[in-house]
Structures are given as C-alpha cells and as structure tokens.
Amino acid sequence: MAKTTTVILGAGFGGISTANVLRSKLHSEHRIVLVDRAKRFVVGAGQTWVMLGQKAPEEISLPLDGLARRGIEVVTSEVTAIDPVTRTVTLEGRKLQADHLVLALGAHLNLDAVPGLAAAAHSFYTLDGALELQRALSTFKGGNLVVSIPRTPFKCPPAPYEGALLLADHFAKLKRRKDVALSVYTVEGAPMTTAGPEMGQFVRGLLAEAGIALHTQQKLVRVNPEARTLSFEGGAAVPFDLLVAVPPHEAPKVVREAGLVGESGWIPVDPKTLAQT
C-alpha cells in the first residue's frame, strides 16, 4: 500500500476530530498533518465564562502539541495560500504537499464588515475578545447594554442569546440589574431560526422573563463609536453604552483566493458528506 499524507487545515472541533478518526483507521506510516495558527485548542463555549471572569483562558483550552502523542503532526503556522488542484498548501516559510487535503478553517470573523463596528463593539466570539469584554464589564457603571447580531449565518446560534441571559444573571448577582437596560438587536426574523419556530418562541420567553428586550429583523448598517449609536436599515438609531456584537462571518481569505467559494460566498458542499461539490 502506498504511503499517503493527509493535511488538515484548521484545528477546531472539525479538524481535530478528523485527525483523530483518520489516525485510528490508518497505518502509522501514513502521515497526518494538522495545521493551525494557534498553539492551543480553545473550547468556544467557555468564552462566556471568561467574559464573566468565571474561568481563566488556560481552563478552557489545551495545547495542540499533545496530539503528537497520538501520531498526529502539528504545525503552527498561518496558511497563506491553497492550491486545490495540486493539493499544495503554502505556509509561512514553507509548503506542504498533500495526497488528501481537508479544509476545516472555519469562518473568518470580520467586525469591519459593518462600518464603525470594530471600533465600538466587544465580542466573546474570540478568546482575546472575551478577555477585553471582561475588562469592560468590570468598569461598566450601567446604562444601555446592546447585544447585536448584524449578519447571518454565524456559528453557534444560541450563543448571543445565552450571552445576553448570562449578562442579565451577572448583573442580578451584583445587585445591579436595575442599572442595566439589556436588549438584543438581530437581523434574524426570530431567535435560532435553524431550530424551528418552537425554539424561537422558547428563547423569546426566556429573554422576556429576564427582562431583555428583543428586536428582530434589524439589519445594522453602521455604528457611530463617538456618538455611541447604532443605525439600522430603515433609519432607526439606537443609543448604547456598551455594545457586544457577533462578528459578521465570512469564508477565510485564502479559501476565497483559491476560488473555492460559490455564489453564497461559502464553499458549496454535499450536505450529507461535506465533500466539495
């Protein structure tokens, strides 16, 4: 049997799971190379705990180099180019040639997709963002706290609603809930539309019970960081004292430059196998 090299780009849940499954099924002579720019795997669901100061970063992450004990090569590098025809990957200072190439880079989080959003918003969708938000919450004296979902699709549909509920609970425990007006502005027609109308109604009820105002079908078009206002399609302007946003998601630049995305802006795949179509 000919030896092969499988290169997996991205060490999130998808990339690590793929590497582990392949390692368990392939002979040790077959190389499995996992590439990621980060040295640690972070459990994204734990970032809300970091946001609230309940967990430290090292408590929700593990070093990727531990995978070497399982026979998985880990390369820490930014991916700068992908050639899907030759299955060649360009990294910082080197190239990898693959017999089999797996893309698990996830989405690029781009706050700059909405004018003014990057300068005004905090986000717990990254570990660094969660740490910055923790510092902002520690000095927040009260006022309008807005959670914004400006674009779809985005990963982990429950996350912004969970985040809003956790923030309400956080200020309640500090006995400062009455000082904070919490609201969610989302471009969605209802919360968690991917889970169906029943789940949407359930989430609406949770938000109402926690005193969190929900505003749906609100497409954010710009943010004024100086005036601290959000402007929505149709002309509505909303003031904020602290803004927490879900960053707009898009396919990574290297994936777009490789010509792999379709009209949707994402890689078209078979929904049953996730193989590129």
Range of the domain at 182: 109-248
**Residue-wise pLDDT tens digits, 50-69:** 999 999 999 999 999 999 99
Per-residue pLDDT at 189: 95
Domain of residue 149, CATH code: 3.50.50.60
Per-residue pLDDT at 2: 65
Contact between 32 and 41 (Cβ < 8 Å)? no
Claim to verify: residue 101 and residue 120 sit in the same structural domain: no
Split into its structural domains, the chain has a count of: 2
On whether residue 269 sits in a domain, the answer given is no
Per-residue pLDDT at 1: 52
Ramachandran sector of residue 269 (left: φ over 0; alpha: ψ -120 to 50; beta: rest): beta
**Residue-wise pLDDT tens digits, 67-108:** 999 999 999 999 999 999 999 999 998 999 999 999 999 999
Ramachandran sector of residue 14 (left: φ over 0; alpha: ψ -120 to 50; beta: rest): alpha
Q: What is the mean pLDDT of each run of 10 residues along the chain (277 residues)?
A: 89 97 95 97 97 97 96 97 96 94 96 98 98 98 97 96 98 97 97 92 97 97 97 92 98 96 91 79
Claim to verify: residue 80 and residue 210 sit in the same structural domain: no
Claim to verify: residue 132 and residue 240 sit in the same structural domain: yes
Claim to verify: residue 192 and residue 102 sit in the same structural domain: no
Per-residue pLDDT at 269: 85
